[in-house]
Amino acid sequence: MHRIIPDKAEDHEINLPSSKSITHRLFILAGLNHGQTRIQNPLLSDDTLLTRKALETMGAVFEEAEGGLLVSKAIGRVQGNEIYLGNSGSSARFLIPLGTFLDKPVRFYGTDRLHRRPFTELLSAIQTFGHKVEATQNSLPVWSFPGHSSGGSISFPILPSSQIVTALMMAALRMQKNLTIRLPKGMPSLPYIRMTANLMKRLRLNVTYSANLIHVECGEPRMDWMLSVEKDFSAASYWVVYALINGVNITLKNMNVPSLQGDEEILRVAELTGADVMLYKDRIEITGRISKSLDLNCEDTPDLVPALSVLALFCKAPSRLRKVRLLEYKESNRIDAIRENIDTLGGRSAYKDGQLTIYPQKKYHGGVVKAFNDHRIAMSFAVAGTRIPDVVIDEPECVEKSYPDFWQDFKYWKKTGKTKKRK
């Protein structure tokens, strides 16, 4: 466990990790490419390493190269019949549709939490295209069998995750016909679909995208690619909140603006609350202050909600985070996790009809924050501990899912008690 030390807040320069979302996608696309793919500055974290290992089991060849990785062989020839995916929903959704393109059956499985997450719509979609799978209660474990994926047109009346669309967009490269996806109204997390489309376009793949229609041309790529992964704006959110609640300056080095990532929205949120945000060619500088509470539609930026919840604790009036229902199905039930930890620290919140309302209090107290093996919960409430004495994070090692160097960058802690083993 880590006890957070609310010492005198300081200005910081931070070199953030590379984007987890982009790294996942680049690994998958590289595994579908029959040319060579050089990936500069990939994120090497728990989740992305699960994706890499899974692709290697599927037959892809990853090699260490200067500044990153070289992927020199595409998936196809299976090296084992079991693929472990931990608690990585991204890995599971992106990889399961690729099972039909392999030469042998494979079994996808993970943690108990992953086995409780919903995969109904994804499994139904790939079965529509002729992909043979066997699943228990429409979740993992899933057996996938060699075959084909016909492609064509598919419509979704409702979707619980944008990752289903991204998964089909990437798998479309090996489908027999071009893929057209009609999206439902109110599609959640649209910026993540736009990220996928723009990334594929950068790789010279034929993709057209709008808010309700996506078209991907089939055809196995045989190109040489080289792409550098930009810094992670989801990871930036913890440092932005740190600056805001402590009234200090943060410099985020080597950030891309505009970004492929929808979580770039954290910069606009900072400005809305009263901070000064300055964009430079090689950095972003934020001068933290809070003059307004939050009233945000978070449908497009669910990964920012844990950090925003901590920010809301220190606003001067109640904050509303709207359209956050999908957070019930993340690495943890993030709504329950956020509310329980707010309560532990002496805060108050309410949740109804997909809206999380947080009521700031004049005084908070310490306590043991339950991370629920969820990296975003652990990092967000660590930041809260810079203002609240005696905050203890019970599973600090879970940050390795997306930000392996978090505790090295975030120096306000000391080890205490026994570290709880992750399941």
As a whole number of angstroms, the distance between CA 182 and CA 295 comes to: 30
Q: How far apart are CA 254 and CA 144, in angstroms?
A: 41
Count the neighbouring beta carbons within 10 Å of the beta carbon of residue 153: 11
Instruction: Please count the other Cβ atoms lying within 10 Å of the Cβ belonging to residue 189.
Output: 23
Q: What angle do CA 308, 314, 316 make, to 5 degrees?
A: 110
pTM of the model: 0.94
Domain 2-17+231-415 has CATH 3.40.640.10: no
Q: How many of the other CB atoms lie within 10 Å of CB of 398?
A: 25
Work out the number of other CB atoms within 10 angstroms of the CB of residue 164. 25
Continuous segment of H or E residues that includes residue 268? helix 265-273
pLDDT, tens digit (0-9, with 9 covering 90-100), for 263-320: 999 999 999 999 999 999 999 999 999 999 999 999 999 999 999 999 999 999 999 9
Model confidence over 150-200: pLDDT tens digits? 999 999 988 888 999 999 999 999 999 999 999 988 888 899 999 999 999
Rounded mean pLDDT, 79-102: 97
Q: Identify the pLDDT of residue 205.
A: 98
Exposure b/e, 127-136, CB count within 10 A at least 16 = b: eebebebebe
Domain 20-228 in the same topology as domain 2-17+231-415? yes
CA distance 8 to 413: 13
Position 286 scores a pLDDT of 98
- Burial of residue 417 (CB within 10 Å: 0-12, 13-18, 19+) is exposed
Between CA 272 and CA 286 the distance in angstroms is 13
What is the percent of the chain where pLDDT is above 70?
A: 99
Q: What is the mean pLDDT of residues 61-76?
A: 96
Lowest model confidence (mean pLDDT) among 2-11, 72-81, 205-214, 410-419: 410-419
User: Alpha carbon of 74 to those of 66, 177, 234, 354, 361: distances in Å?
Assistant: 21, 20, 30, 42, 55
Give Cβ neighbours of residue 419 (< 8 Å, ≥ 6 apart). Answer: 1, 395, 396, 397
Fill in the DSSP letter of residue 130.
T
Cα dihedral sign, 397-400-402-408: positive
**Using 50, 70 and 90 to split pLDDT, how confident is the model at 397?**
very high
In this predicted structure, the answer to whether residue 419 has a pLDDT above a threshold of 70 is: no
Helices (H) and strands (E) in the chain, counts: 13, 24
Burial class (CB in 10 A: 0-12, 13-18, 19+), 407: buried
All structural domains of the chain with their residue ranges: 2-17+231-415, 20-228
Q: Is the pLDDT of residue 389 over 80?
A: yes
- State the chain's mean pLDDT as an integer: 95
C-alpha closest to that of 399 among 2, 116, 114: 2
What's the full length of the chain, in residues?
423
How far apart are alpha carbons 96 and 143 in whole angstroms?
A: 9
Would you state the pLDDT for residue 422? Answer: 47
Rounded to 5 degrees, φ, ψ at 40 are: -90, 140
Q: Give the tens place of pLDDT for each residue, 3-37.
A: 999 877 899 999 999 999 999 999 999 999 999 99
The CATH number given to 20-228 is: 3.65.10.10
Residue 325, number of CB atoms within 10 A of its CB? 18
Model confidence over 202-261: pLDDT tens digits? Answer: 999 999 998 889 999 999 999 999 999 999 999 999 999 999 999 999 999 999 999 999
At residue 423, the pLDDT reads: 46
The pLDDT of residue 228: 96
Exposed, middle or buried by CB within 10 Å (0-12, 13-18, 19+), for 271? exposed
pLDDT for residue 418: 60
E strands present in 183-275: 207-209, 213-216, 225-228, 249-253
Give the pLDDT band (50/70/90) at residue 132.
very high
pLDDT number for residue 67: 87
- Residue 130's region, left for phi above 0, alpha for psi from -120 to 50, else beta, is left
pLDDT, tens digit, 9 for 90 and up, residues 338-377 = 999 999 999 999 999 999 999 999 999 999 999 999 999 9
- What average pLDDT does range 50-77 have in this prediction? 97
- List the alpha helices (DSSP H) in 2-145: 20-32, 46-57, 89-95, 112-115, 120-128
Q: Does residue 401 have a pLDDT over 70?
A: yes
